[in-house]
Amino acid sequence: MTKIAIFGVGLIGGSLALSFKGKPGITVVGHSNRPESVEKYVQRGVVDEATTSMREAAEGADFIFLCVPVGKLADYVQEISRFHLKPGCIITDVGSTKASVAACAKSIDLNGAVFIGGHPMAGSERSGVEAASSYLFENAFYVLTPDSSTPQDAVDRLKELLVYTKAHIVVVDAVSHDQIVGAISHLPHMIAVALVNQIRGYNETNPLYESLAAGGFRDITRIAASDPVVWRDILINNRSVLLKLLQDWNAETARFMHMLETEDGEAIQQAFLEAGRFRSRMPERRKGVIHSTYDCYVDVPDHPGIIGKITTELGNNSINLSNIQIIESREDVPGVLRLSFRNQEQLDQAMEQLAASGYTIHL
């Protein structure tokens, strides 16, 4: 039996547990300090067993996944390495920053275990085990950050296990990881939060800001609703990278200020053109909970019960939705729903069914 221990069965830990659970020869054990959480994990069927004892979860494990906030990773590595670990046990983490946890693992005696940093590049603004999904990592990149002293057979064993996540494994060094992920994930989270707070300020004196906020504002600010503790830890941990990135960001906004001050329409057009070209090169392949390649948009009258009506109609025809999202909903005007499916066939069937029922569908 391969024993997998998961510390921190939240969005990411729970999604990993669901990817592994029920696979041949695998048993998944979840850990939480709180007895009520332990009960919840088992009741929800996310893990095979759960315990409040760190020792019980860690000892005998072939793989240990640390899925707690970044600020707690070093404590967990230190605490776990004091137990009697199975020789060759692989300790890995899912933290959104990699350099500090790698340095911590390198600085202590792991008692025969091997540490390999990891980071699945998929997630959501939601948190907790309630948001976990076995599909979260499908088609996403999953970064591993071994260094030159990491035994190759351990890296291979971890890669073999991660096949169950259906993610694409990519090996990057920890420092480059923090630099790149700082730019494509941490900086956007700061910008989204700053933007929402800016508008929240205006809204205090005029609530029309909130009412009129439509697709553009929602698209760019979804991640502003992310977990405060998780993001506090990420940003503080990667602060030296982020301070430099914010300087570059200030230079970008200064460029816009200059274009406006000088009424330089050509430069504005050029900025949109270049951004649009780069953006369109990005493949729409990150499915996870939120992203799906098999999406369609449905115009719906904005009245109570419409979501239930559509889901029932699809369910009655054996068409399974993977996600449903309200893109736009305003008083007295039609709203837009994004419907996501797991494959093209289900999408085609749904579009046919809903069109036959008189809905207007867009791709």
Ligand X SMILES: O=C(O)C(=O)C[C@]1(C(=O)O)C=C[C@@H](O)C=C1
Question: Is residue 96 a contact residue for ligand X (CB under 6 A)?
Answer: yes
* Residue selected from 19, 92, 124, 150 as contacting ligand X according to rule CB under 6 A: 124
Minimum distance, C-beta of residue 52 to ligand NAD, in the bound complex (Å): 12
Residues 17 and 46 sit within 8 Å (Cβ to Cβ): yes
Span interacting with ligand NAD, options 121-129, 165-173, 250-258, 326-334, rule CB under 6 A: 121-129
The residue within the footprint of ligand X, chosen from 52, 78, 185, 325 (CB under 6 A), is 185
> Interhelix angle for 239-261 vs 265-281, to 10°?
140
Instruction: Measure Cα distances from 267 to 110, 258, 275 in Å.
Output: 55, 10, 12
Q: Is residue 288 within 8 Å of 135, Cβ to Cβ?
A: yes
CA–CA separation, 15 and 211 (whole Å): 35
Residue partners of 79: CB distance under 8 A and separation at least 6: 54
Q: Give every CB contact of residue 49 below 8 A, 6+ residues apart in sequence.
A: 27, 28, 29, 30, 42
Helices 228-237 and 187-203: angle between axes, nearest 10 degrees = 130
Contact (Cβ atoms closer than 8 angstroms) between residue 288 and residue 134? no
Q: Which of 49, 59, 79, 125 binds ligand X (CB under 6 A)?
A: 125
**Shortest Cβ distance from residue 138 to ligand NAD (Å)?**
14
Minimum gap (Å) between residue 288 Cβ and ligand X: 7
Sole binder of ligand X in the list 223, 300, 347, 350 (CB under 6 A): 223
Instruction: Give the list of residues 6+ apart from residue 28 with CB closer than 8 angstroms, or none.
Output: 4, 6, 17, 20, 21, 47, 48, 49
What does the per-residue mask of binding to ligand NAD show for 191-230, with x meaning CB under 6 A?
------------------------------------x-xx
Choose the one of ligand NAD, ligand X, none that binds residue 118, judging by a C-beta under 5 to 8 angstroms depending on kind.
none
Q: How far is CA 152 from the centre of its chain?
A: 27
Task: Closer to ligand X by CB, 128 or 315: give it.
Answer: 128
The residue among 57 and 319 lying less far from ligand NAD, judged by its C-beta, is 57
CA distances from 238 to 77, 173, 233 (A): 19, 15, 9
Taking CB under 6 A as the rule, which mask of x and - marks residues 46-85 in contact with ligand X?
----------------------------------------
Stretch of 15-23, 31-39, 54-62, 121-129 contacting ligand X, by CB under 6 A = 121-129
Using a 10 angstrom Cβ sphere, with 0-12 exposed, 13-18 middle and 19 or more buried, the burial of residue 293 is middle
From the list ligand X, ligand NAD, none, partner contacted by residue 80 (C-beta under 5 to 8 A by kind): none
CB of 358 to ligand X, least distance (A): 34
Instruction: Give the interface with ligand X as residue ranges (CB under 6 A).
Output: 96, 121-125, 185, 223, 226, 290
Instruction: Give the interface with ligand NAD as residue ranges (CB under 6 A).
Output: 8-13, 32, 67-70, 72, 94-96, 119-120, 123-124, 127-128, 227, 229-230, 234
